[in-house]
Amino acid sequence: MSIPTGISHEESVVVTDANLASAVGSGLVDVFATPMLVALCELAASNCVKPHLEPGEVTVGTRVDVEHSAASVTGMRVTATATVTAVDRRRVDFSLVVADEAGEVGKGVHTRFVVDKEKFMAKAQARKV
């Protein structure tokens, strides 16, 4: 695994009825939901480093700190950009910027860890009571 700092990746989604705060239970208004914004950020970060992973490796999110500063309504395209800011062994830190056609709607930081998928899932299953 060799993940360079400074690499970026973006992911976009169009706001639909399915990803509104009123639809996902995070509020009562018909705007892009904060949980969906966070998921979009995680997708951008995950896909940013994916080409740099060894076979069998994946990343898992462990920290998200995002400010959702403006509302996006149905039909708007929301784009999250994740940029690698630091790599420490298996920990990868990202800066996040989220925008729609009208401008910035969020920003923050995110941490992911590189793990062996099979070992990770075995450990997760072992926690099952």
List 59, 68, 81, 111, catalytic entry: 68
DSSP helix/strand/coil, 69? coil
CB atoms within 10 A of CB 117: 14
CA distance 28 to 32: 11
Q: What is the residue type of 12?
A: S
34 in catalytic set: yes
The answer to whether residue 42 is catalytic is yes
- Among residues 9, 42, 59, 111, the one annotated as catalytic is 42
- Look at the block and give the residue holding tokens 């998928």: 117
Q: How many CB atoms lie within 10 A of CB 128?
A: 5
Active site amino acids:
34, 42, 68
